[in-house]
Structure 1
Amino acid sequence: MDKPPLHILMLSIHGLVRGHDLELGRDADTGGQVTYVVELARALGRNPNVEWVDLLTRLIDDREVSSDYAQPEEKLGPRARIVRLPFGPKRYLRKEVLWKHLDHLVDRCLHHLRSQEKLPDVIHSHYADAGYVGTQLSRLLGIPQIHTGHSLGRGKLQRLLQSGRKKSSLERQFNFAQRLAAEEEVLSHASLIVASTRQEIVTQYGDYINFDAKRASVIPPGTDTTRFSAPGRRPISETVCRMVDRFLDIPEKPCILAICRPETKKNLHRLLTAYGEDADLQEMANLVIIAGNRDDIQTMEAAQQQVLADLLLAIDRYDLWGKVAIPKHHRMEDIPDLYRLAARRRGVFVNPALTEPFGLTLIEAAASGLPIVATEDGGPIDIIGNCRNGLLIDPLKPEGIALALKTVLSDRKAWRTWARSGILGVKRHYTWAGHVAQYLNAVRRVLRKDRKRFRRQLATFAHDRRSALPLARQALISDIDNTLIGDQEGLEQLIEWLQVRAGRVAFGVATGRSLAGTVRTLRDWRVPMPDVVITSVGTEIAYGPDLRADPGWAKLIRHQWRRDALAEAMTAIPGITLQQKENQRQFKISYNVIPELMPPIDQVGAYLQRLNLRANLIYSHQAYLDILPVRASKGQAIRYLAYKWGLPLNSFLVAGDSGNDIEMMLGDTLGVIVGNHSPEIRSLKGRHQVYFASDHYARGILEGIAHYQFGGSSHPQRFLTS
């Protein structure tokens, strides 16, 4: 029987992503990853075994960038497109600033997928930020996740610390804590990790606690050999020749070509040092550095300013005017001609980066018949091993860089051999057709393994509609203790507000209490039974007056849950004691905490990860610790309900007061934090759609309702007075 064609959702959410005239090098976020995801989407769309490919990225409405990035859709081919969803501010943001907005994207993605005719077969995330989003979607929808890291945070952090940077300043600039946590989480969850090289698996991913090499596959990227070819087959643009030659006294000399973004890790200053301190190398060749595009260095990001300023100062220090070309502007379509120009002049391509996960420019240079000199880290080891077209260098030793360049430039016979070998090696190892064939085989293996389990979960998730809740247009979900209850008069006013809107606004509670404890408390405070009850910190969902349990939720969160092993492991943690038996549930282990004795919560999480145990740790009121399945929390439960009922997340007003309410507040929900909140929830101040009320308990909820004009425009003022 023929295999059904696949529907693939790819996530690549930072940088400037479009299908034409890629602005490579414009900034640190628009580089090789953008090229890879666009070309992969196109190549997959050409394959008859693929039904459809959506490359989902961020919609950017900013006068400082092209209006192309504000278009909701862009076609890439017959069965491939770019889909852009807005989240966070409209303006363009660097990737380190996007982290606090990623939960909004999860919610926008859920709404987008809900509107489609069918869900994708797999979610393929690229880089840590998309990995975070992909993991949330995979858990909520029961769709396998594939992940490509492109570059990893742990190695970058180590290199920057070794260079003398302070950890605190690095955290402010790069948000490493969030990035590393997201990388560990995606490595724990993803069904397949796609790597470019074996070295990437062994050396780079090997530093992570949750990495399992059995779930990794080496699939080298492809290159478009219709664009990159040896000189002679097509003319080289005169514009490109002028762009380079106007800097040079003797333009006909061989050319040392470097193409990369102006980033410290690209190590351009050592390349320039190698050239500037070797008179023989200067005599043999010119140096051409294509380091992104710039109008005015002073308007660029600080890190890029520093790199380019250092390069220009080094050119002046070594008096290299007339020997070094460093153009201000180039177009994407100029890149193939730059390789061909360097090859025609018997030059060499150099990549001196401190670390290089793959190195797509090396493949492009090889396909253009240009020998390469590259760092002995990561992808270049495999590329030169496969193509036999150049030399590896230690990127920390300028004299070694200079020696390798002179070796390639001075041996004409070896140069011709390397040029031919590179062209043949790319055709043998690095075509898009070959990449897609390997990729689809790996995806099919994932689906064979996971299909039955995911299909079971999804069928229950999509079709188990046990209540009339889908008829509601909005939903108010509140924590109980210290939020809904605490002020009887304010509670009665809130109940009256809800009764006026019965049928239009669903009412639910989300609490850390057990179901039995929840029912008792609601009766004691004379609260009518809610439409939905989320209990035990989001691990149980029940509906209506008869409290019918949602079996789909239980099946969904059971993934990777090892209750007995977790309970045993936690006996080694000081400062915690098990709560009473009523608070222990099938999917929840609850402890009382002595804060000054318990280790920091991130250390507890790392300890469990080392034991290969997966859990969601919820610390609240500086007194309680709940251990839950990785898919369970109040916030995840609300997203499950949103998808199930077909309501957008901004139709949910959620109210809370403590740390176990934080996940409810993230994303597109309308968050209300009552005035009597606990200290740990203050971290949400300034967050998107999180309102801090001044009134306490139910009066604080009513204040939030008025703030958002939730449930209609009519908000009787007597509800808001004492």
Structure 2
Amino acid sequence: MVATVSPKGLYILLISVHGLIRGHNLELGRDADTGGQTKYVVELAKSLARQVAVERIDLVTRLIVDEAVSIDYKAPVEQLSANSRIVRIKAGPEEYIPKEQLWPHMDSFADNLCIWLSEQPRLPDIIHTHYADAGYVGVRLANHTGLPLVHTGHSLGHDKYSRLLAVGMGIEQIEERYHMQARISAEEDILSCAELVITSTRNEIESQYELYDYYTPEKMAVIPPGINLEQFHPVIQGQPAISQAFQSKLSLFLRDPAKPMILALSRPDERKNIVSLLEAFGQNKSLQKLANLVIVAGNRDDIRELNDGVQSVLTELLWVIDVYELYGLVALPKHHSAEDVPDIYRYAAASKGVFVNPALTEPFGLTLLEAAASGLPLVATENGGPVDIIGNCGNGLLVDPLGREAIADALLSILQNPARWQEFSSNGLRNISRFYSWDAHAQSYLALLQTLVSKRKPLTQVTSTHQFSTYRNRALFTAIDNTLLGDPEALEQFANVVRSNRRQFLFGIATGRRLDSVLTILKRNSIPTPDVLITSLGTEIYYTSELVADIAWSHHIDHSWTPLVLRRVLESLPGLSPQPKSGQSRFKVSYFYDAQIAPPMDEILGLLRQQELSVNATLSFGQYLDIVPARASKGQALRYVTNQYNIPLDRTLVTGGSGGDADMLRGNTLGVVVSNRHQEELSNLSENEQVYFANGAHAWGILEAINHYGFF
């Protein structure tokens, strides 16, 4: 793939994988995945598309075909404006599933997105990912194309992990439900790869990103999100504050609807902490006498049919209402639309009420901006984005979300003091337009992007000296050790299969061994000469029997590779001893790993990240530690080769047997794990839909997989 910058303007690719994303009537609050992030990325796409410096915006998300959700989400393309659109890419099952269940399908999403990009007139200038799952995809795209990666986290795994522990959730429960270790590992890789990290607040950089090994504040920038001031504004004189339909919904709950409204609007998610808000209200008679509490928490028909997390929060809310006998004082409406939300804010402001966000942590807090733009004073969590919002706007109070008395006292101090209420309301209205407009956000954003694009060097293109076969439309790549080798009879049968079908497919070897070692093994075992050799763990590529080296690949993977620094960092670690020169190469630093005394791999990876070393490190066969450039691996080299030959990944059978083979097997390839004593290193691939675990060992497993997939 070759990236070129158009003189017309920037082409920006936004990626936001999970949630229900469409250009109209966003289903905010439907579940934990359809919240502020989905609204942010749609508004960002629309805002950027209006800028003169922008030629094209594509917002990429997941294609969903599910009778339980709108048909809008199965449209491959949805136009937002003349130069912006939503593009939906297949990933995993067709039905809508929570983001925690999407992780095994992200490699497939990346492969499908690469195919889609290859069909476009040109590549984007920038890849901008949102949340960890999209970041995982973005790292793979950036490594493949050399394009700059920009990332916005929205929420971070480390911070979420500590908050969940603080509310009493056990480590095993957190891991089972949220796959937190995989997420945090992905976030470390994102920070290593990204050239720019955009945050909403300074607090996010200093209190949340600081927890990561790869913490580089110098490549982080604060750009607060914007808000649509045409949609969110105070009550216009002579117009009703709220629709009659929603007012009638509130009247079902409230004994005296004219009292000031304490408004909370969020997803019914335990992290939003709305149960604590309700308990604070239930424990304070003065607050109950003075105001009503309205909790707008998503939409529901039957609580029993909702997922466990949402069901738990809503059930507990009803339980607390019953315990404190809050009937007539608390409204928990069952339905609201996106069009209702601005009116709800205005109605609360007209009642001289307060907006409250008691979340355990709030990465930013878009609802705080919406409420402030409508004239509402704020009471908000002291953890995260509200610190900056209230600091900039001077329109409310920060509280400890775990302190119920503190929440009640803050609400009372505003509701009982009309002068303070007016001061906070006026400050919010004045400062929101000053600090949080979409135009200001887009202009600050584009200034940073132009700097990245101007610094980027185009990928070096070297004319290929080997000829690609046009009649082969499938490929088979195999590792050598404990995969192809190990059983002479099976190897002989496999060699016969290769010879008899040679004109039908491309035959390749992908190994951690150096070229000279591979050639010796091929000759000694009478293995047919491969069409392609991927050697030294994906750092070298050779073609045909003439062994033509791919120089373009060497140029591509040389990005940020500093082997001398790498060796200096690792030389003092116990349990690591350098492999002989025959095991090393220009782009591969290799050690023997003694598990009895060496640090765990997590600690080694942490050390490399702390030293800002952007690399791929793999442990194979329990004793070989290999470190290569971030853009190199067997899987990345294989994708480069199949792209050169124009062979689809879903017609590429890939076999492996140890940890170094993992990224070859993930995604759209026809993956095969042969049976051997090291296959447990690949056990985490069992969740991947397109990885076959063979019963046969060594080459028997490859032959078994050829039949399993009907490869010929």
Aligned to 1:22: 26
Determine which of 261, 265, 268 is the counterpart of 1:259: 265
Alignment of 1:182-261 (within 5 A): 182-232=186-236, 234-235=239-240, 236-261=242-267
In the TM superposition, residue 470 of structure 1 has moved relative to its aligned partner by 6.1
Distance 1:141 1:426 in 2: 39
Which secondary structure does the structure 1 equivalent of 2:61 belong to? strand
Which secondary structure does the structure 2 equivalent of 1:416 belong to? helix
* Farther off after superposition, 413-422 or 657-666: 413-422
Letter in 1 for 2:344: L
Aligned to 2:115: 111
Distance 2:233 2:465 in 1: 58
In the TM superposition, residue 215 of structure 1 has moved relative to its aligned partner by 0.5
Confirm or deny: 8 A CA contact 1:483 1:696 kept in the other structure.
yes
Aligned to 2:690: 689
Distance 2:644 2:196 in 1: 27
In the TM superposition, residue 464 of structure 1 has moved relative to its aligned partner by 4.3
Post-superposition Cα deviations, 1:646-697, rounded to whole Å, max 9, x if no partner, equal 3321121111222211211111100122234523234433532112223333
In the TM superposition, residue 704 of structure 1 has moved relative to its aligned partner by 0.9
Determine which of 5, 11, 17 is the counterpart of 2:9: 5
Aligned to 1:624: 624
Confirm or deny: 8 A CA contact 1:15 1:29 kept in the other structure.
yes
Post-superposition Cα deviations, 1:573-628, rounded to whole Å, max 9, x if no partner, equal 22232222111101112222333232221122112222333322211112222121
Confirm or deny: 8 A CA contact 1:465 1:644 kept in the other structure.
no
* Farther off after superposition, 500-509 or 383-392: 500-509
Is 1:324–2:327 an aligned residue pair? no
In the TM superposition, residue 488 of structure 1 has moved relative to its aligned partner by 4.4
In the TM superposition, residue 414 of structure 1 has moved relative to its aligned partner by 2.9
Which secondary structure does the structure 2 equivalent of 1:118 belong to? coil
In the TM superposition, residue 487 of structure 1 has moved relative to its aligned partner by 4.0
Is 1:592–2:592 an aligned residue pair? yes
In the TM superposition, residue 501 of structure 1 has moved relative to its aligned partner by 3.9
Letter in 1 for 2:80: L
Aligned to 1:542: 542
Aligned to 2:572: 572
Which secondary structure does the structure 2 equivalent of 1:456 belong to? coil
Which secondary structure does the structure 2 equivalent of 1:322 belong to? coil
Post-superposition Cα deviations, 1:384-425, rounded to whole Å, max 9, x if no partner, equal 222222222222222221122122222223323322322221
Post-superposition Cα deviations, 1:507-551, rounded to whole Å, max 9, x if no partner, equal 110011101111111112222321110001111111111111111
Distance 1:686 1:304 in 2: 25
Is 1:87–2:94 an aligned residue pair? no
Alignment of 1:274-289 (within 5 A): 274-289=280-295
Which secondary structure does the structure 2 equivalent of 1:55 belong to? strand
Is 1:61–2:65 an aligned residue pair? yes
Which secondary structure does the structure 1 equivalent of 2:339 belong to? helix
Distance 1:466 1:212 in 2: 42
Confirm or deny: 8 A CA contact 1:241 1:341 kept in the other structure.
no
In the TM superposition, residue 469 of structure 1 has moved relative to its aligned partner by 4.6
Distance 1:249 1:194 in 2: 46
* Distance change (3 Å), C-alpha of 1:503 and 1:441: farther
Is 1:448–2:454 an aligned residue pair? yes
Letter in 2 for 1:681: L
Aligned to 1:309: 315
Confirm or deny: 8 A CA contact 1:512 1:538 kept in the other structure.
yes
Distance 1:145 1:333 in 2: 34
Is 1:71–2:72 an aligned residue pair? no
Aligned to 2:613: 613
Alignment of 1:373-388 (within 5 A): 373-388=379-394
Confirm or deny: 8 A CA contact 1:356 1:379 kept in the other structure.
yes
Scaled by the length of structure 2, the TM-score of the pair is 0.96
* Distance change (3 Å), C-alpha of 1:192 and 1:325: same
Aligned to 1:423: 429
Confirm or deny: 8 A CA contact 1:384 1:390 kept in the other structure.
yes
Aligned to 1:720: none
* Distance change (3 Å), C-alpha of 1:688 and 1:677: farther
Distance 2:504 2:118 in 1: 21
Confirm or deny: 8 A CA contact 1:196 1:219 kept in the other structure.
yes
Question: Over aligned residue pairs, what C-alpha RMSD do you find?
Answer: 1.9
Which secondary structure does the structure 1 equivalent of 2:617 belong to? strand
Identity of aligned residues (%): 48
Distance 1:402 1:465 in 2: 74
Alignment of 1:398-477 (within 5 A): 398-449=404-455, 451-452=456-457, 455-457=458-460, 459-460=461-462, 464=464, 466-469=466-469, 472-477=472-477
Alignment of 1:469-548 (within 5 A): 469=469, 472-548=472-548
In the TM superposition, residue 504 of structure 1 has moved relative to its aligned partner by 3.8
* Distance change (3 Å), C-alpha of 1:473 and 1:677: farther
In the TM superposition, residue 129 of structure 1 has moved relative to its aligned partner by 0.9
Unaligned runs of 5+ in 1: 712-722
Distance 1:484 1:344 in 2: 74
Which secondary structure does the structure 1 equivalent of 2:675 belong to? coil
Distance 1:470 1:119 in 2: 25
Letter in 2 for 1:292: G
Determine which of 401, 404, 407 is the counterpart of 1:395: 401
Letter in 1 for 2:663: E
Determine which of 342, 353, 356 is the counterpart of 2:348: 342
Confirm or deny: 8 A CA contact 2:268 2:314 kept in the other structure.
yes
* Distance change (3 Å), C-alpha of 1:223 and 1:591: same
Is 1:269–2:272 an aligned residue pair? no
Determine which of 102, 122, 130 is the counterpart of 2:126: 122
Which secondary structure does the structure 2 equivalent of 1:693 belong to? strand
Which secondary structure does the structure 2 equivalent of 1:692 belong to? strand
* Farther off after superposition, 6-15 or 550-559: 550-559
Confirm or deny: 8 A CA contact 2:459 2:556 kept in the other structure.
no
Confirm or deny: 8 A CA contact 1:114 1:646 kept in the other structure.
no
Confirm or deny: 8 A CA contact 2:263 2:353 kept in the other structure.
yes
Distance 2:502 2:563 in 1: 39
Distance 1:684 1:379 in 2: 37
Post-superposition Cα deviations, 1:438-495, rounded to whole Å, max 9, x if no partner, equal 111111111122x22xx034x45xx647431565311111112332234444444434
Aligned to 1:698: 699
In the TM superposition, residue 299 of structure 1 has moved relative to its aligned partner by 2.1
Alignment of 1:285-304 (within 5 A): 285-304=291-310
* Distance change (3 Å), C-alpha of 1:119 and 1:594: same
Letter in 2 for 1:542: Y
Runs of 4+ in structure 1 over 6 Å off: none
Post-superposition Cα deviations, 1:197-248, rounded to whole Å, max 9, x if no partner, equal 1111111111112121110111110111111111125433111211222211
* Farther off after superposition, 497-506 or 35-44: 497-506
In the TM superposition, residue 13 of structure 1 has moved relative to its aligned partner by 0.5
Confirm or deny: 8 A CA contact 1:114 1:643 kept in the other structure.
no
Determine which of 172, 180, 185 is the counterpart of 2:184: 180
In the TM superposition, residue 59 of structure 1 has moved relative to its aligned partner by 0.9
Is 1:356–2:362 an aligned residue pair? yes
